[in-house]
Structure 1
Amino acid sequence: MTDPNVERKLVEIMRIISESDKPVGARLIADEMHNRGYAIGERAVRYHLRILDERGFTEKHGYIGRTITERGKKELSDALVSDRLGFIITKIEELIYRTDYDLDSGKGNVIVNISYIDKDDYDNAADVIRYAMAHGASISPKVGVLEEESDDYDIYIPEGKIALATVCSITFDGLLLKNGIPTMPAFGGLMQMENYEPEGFVDLISYSGTSIDPIKIFLRRKSTSILKSIDTGSGYMLANMREIPASAAKRAEIVIERAKKDDIGGNICIGDSGEDVLYAPVQRGKVGIPVMVGINAVAAVEEAGIQIDTHPVSTVMEYKKMKIL
């Protein structure tokens, strides 16, 4: 098997060649590799190019240079997907760090999801969101409403649209971290509801193993039945789970209970050390904390036939500027 460092260089060389509209020579590739932080000389580039030629990923055009083949383009596309696998979890880590809401002072930022709806649909959408939130389908009843002329946040709002910011469940991870508890979301999933209570996860996607937010995937699949869950007690809602050290469970319980006083809820339970929680696996020495996600309320809007475009785990927003619809 080729050394991973060599593979990374091969991918970067293919990327450089693919970005050119004409054949590229080894000297130009070496110069560009230096610009991108790779300490590799012209001679080493020629060695890597021979490997690419042998694999059928590049084609040599005499002394002019190389172009990328169709097979090479496909390989590069697959490699770029692999590069993106860590993107979501990296973005989440950044937002967790930026969550600075203080439970004592009531000041600071929480993580929010951003959803876009037509202005003409706002009143109907707000009714559905209120209904869903009143029945515990979201972690907070507070929403940020941003219109085109709003300049409070660096959020692009298309003409004729309104942006709705709902509190994201990853906020819990930020609160736990701020209180000295290391945490990281493990799974996003589909939670089966029975008799108005969570019965267990029926589908899970790891945050570290996907290039798309797991909750976004379930939204695209139209997997939820939020309104049915509220009306009949049975259906499917969205939830996620994070893991924390088992030794921090008691402290986490205090933080979670304190957050409820500020209308930040949705926690289902805190599991036992190393034990599965609602059919979700937990690592040894850790406990799992499943939480209903803030997007459930906007998923209900789509179920009601109102078009809405939702982006989970989007940015941070000052919590005190959000309001109950």
Structure 2
Amino acid sequence: MNKNLTPRINLIKQDGREVEREKLAILRVLASCQTPLGSKIIARRLKNEYGIELSERAVRYHLIMLDDRGMTCKISRRDGRSITQLGLEELENALVTDKVGFVIDKIERLAYLTDFNLDTLSGMVPVNISFFAKEQFKPALRAMAQAYKANLCVSELVCIAHEGDKIADISVPAGQVAFATVCSIVINGTLLKAGIPMDSRFGGTLQFHQNKPRRFTDMIYYTGSSLDPSEIFIASRMTSVSEVARRGEGKVLCNFREIPAASLPLAEKIIAKLRNAGINGVLVVGEAGKSVCEMPSGLNKVGMIMMGGLNPVAAAVENDIPAASQAMSGLIPYSSFKNYWEAAGLKKPA
């Protein structure tokens, strides 16, 4: 082979791999939504969620190629595309090296995009979105009540969207209700804007004993995972949020993160402001270099344990109410939230 052609061949291979990554990202966007999407929304979500900038025309080109491969199908000119079973299978099998670490990339991107202003109480806040069957939504809200009463949540602020509505660029399917909870990444983003970097280590189940957090019993490190830990633990029925709320014994969803020890005084001020804004996700703040709930912290680091935003949904699932959850689904304006008790039509316990 002509040696002069080698750089060109390598470039073609590299470009081909990049194109394949873009197609997989499009499939991920379609797979995360239960309704068809058009090229405009896909392009916006690619940029916001994956840092991939493609024009609407480029997205349409990729979609045509995916249609030809049977991985997407065109619903209509107005409604856009849906992913097919073949497309879902491709996501399961393709480019496994790209999927490892996908969760931590998403955390960092959402933290960067969070622009919640603690002084004006305005801006975009990251959320988890869960879908319930319309007829089961009221029982689900009642099942969540104990979790909210016991403060086993990031915030009492929630957002509800009904069939035909959109939330974080996701259309709510017919017969479904979308329930958005504040994601703990809002703390990452708020600290980041104040110049405090946060290292997100892992998500896990935290054991409670006599109403006090004791230790992590299961954990999944973000850097080595292609799936969100909370979704896995809920689907595997590994939580007992309702029992913790009732008896102070059991396991809840929590996250372990670290900040530089030197930034602790400023971080504590910001955490206090977040509480005043109705965001109470920080469960435990450790000391420099010391373990938190039996989890060691790095040198000159302070460990933090945060509540999982999907704990109330886990409580509903524990009560045999099915939910399809998408952690870190996107961002919605702070002004769109309502207090859970008001939204559920329930009286808040004294």
Query: What is aligned with 1:251?
Result: 266
Residue type of the alignment partner of 1:193: F
**Please, which of 218, 229, 246 is the counterpart of residue 231 of structure 1?**
246
1:36 aligns with 2:51: no
Q: Does the C-alpha gap of structure 1 residues 203 and 35 become closer, same or farther in structure 2, counting only changes over 3 Å?
A: closer
**Alpha-carbon deviation of 1:30?**
6.4
Q: Does the C-alpha gap of structure 1 residues 152 and 84 become closer, same or farther in structure 2, counting only changes over 3 Å?
A: closer
Residue type of the alignment partner of 1:203: D
8 Å contact 1:134–1:141 — kept in the other structure? no
Query: What is aligned with 2:216?
Result: 201
Query: What is aligned with 1:21?
Result: none
**Alpha-carbon deviation of 1:298?**
0.4
1:319 aligns with 2:334: yes
Runs of 4+, deviation exceeding 2 Å: 28-32, 34-38, 77-80
CA distance in 2, matches of 1:283, 1:241: 12
8 Å contact 1:139–1:293 — kept in the other structure? yes
CA distance in 2, matches of 1:248, 1:227: 35
Query: What is aligned with 1:186?
Result: 201
Give 3-state SS (helix, strand or coil) of 2:282's partner: coil
CA distance in 2, matches of 1:309, 1:152: 15
Q: Does the C-alpha gap of structure 1 residues 247 and 157 become closer, same or farther in structure 2, counting only changes over 3 Å?
A: same
CA distance in 2, matches of 1:255, 1:123: 35
**Alpha-carbon deviation of 1:177?**
0.7
CA distance in 1, matches of 2:167, 2:327: 20
**Alpha-carbon deviation of 1:172?**
0.9
Alignment of structure 1 residues 69-218 onto 2, 5 Å = 80-151=95-166, 153-218=168-233
**Please, which of 284, 305, 317 is the counterpart of residue 302 of structure 1?**
317
Residue type of the alignment partner of 1:33: K
Residue type of the alignment partner of 1:234: E
Query: What is aligned with 2:22?
Result: none
**Alpha-carbon deviation of 1:184?**
2.6
8 Å contact 2:206–2:214 — kept in the other structure? yes
CA distance in 1, matches of 2:199, 2:329: 17
CA distance in 1, matches of 2:93, 2:135: 41
Q: Where does the alignment leave 5 or more consecutive residues of structure 2 unmatched?
A: 1-5, 19-91, 344-350
8 Å contact 2:114–2:126 — kept in the other structure? yes
Give 3-state SS (helix, strand or coil) of 2:284's partner: coil
1:242 aligns with 2:257: yes
8 Å contact 1:249–1:270 — kept in the other structure? no
Q: Does the C-alpha gap of structure 1 residues 194 and 34 become closer, same or farther in structure 2, counting only changes over 3 Å?
A: closer
8 Å contact 2:208–2:250 — kept in the other structure? yes
**Identity among equivalent pairs (%):** 37
| CA-to-aligned-CA distance 1:230-272 (integer Å, 9 cap, x gap) | 1111011010011111100111111111111111003122111
8 Å contact 1:243–1:287 — kept in the other structure? yes
**Alpha-carbon deviation of 1:79?**
8.0
Tell me the TM-score normalized by structure 1: 0.76
Tell me the TM-score normalized by structure 2: 0.70
Residue type of the alignment partner of 2:234: L
Greater CA deviation, 286-295 or 147-156?
147-156
Give 3-state SS (helix, strand or coil) of 1:268's partner: strand
**Please, which of 266, 270, 274 is the counterpart of residue 281 of structure 2?**
266
Give 3-state SS (helix, strand or coil) of 2:180's partner: strand
**Alpha-carbon deviation of 1:139?**
1.2
Q: Does the C-alpha gap of structure 1 residues 155 and 255 become closer, same or farther in structure 2, counting only changes over 3 Å?
A: same
Residue type of the alignment partner of 1:217: I
Q: Does the C-alpha gap of structure 1 residues 131 and 85 become closer, same or farther in structure 2, counting only changes over 3 Å?
A: same
Give the number of the structure whose alpha-carbon radius of gyration is greater. 1
8 Å contact 2:130–2:325 — kept in the other structure? yes
**Alpha-carbon deviation of 1:319?**
1.6
8 Å contact 2:234–2:317 — kept in the other structure? no
**Alpha-carbon deviation of 1:196?**
1.2
Q: Does the C-alpha gap of structure 1 residues 231 and 83 become closer, same or farther in structure 2, counting only changes over 3 Å?
A: same
CA distance in 2, matches of 1:120, 1:78: 35
Residue type of the alignment partner of 1:36: G
Q: Where does the alignment leave 5 or more consecutive residues of structure 1 unmatched?
A: 1-25, 39-76
| CA-to-aligned-CA distance 1:63-116 (integer Å, 9 cap, x gap) | xxxxxxxxxxxxxx8882222112111111110011111111000111100100
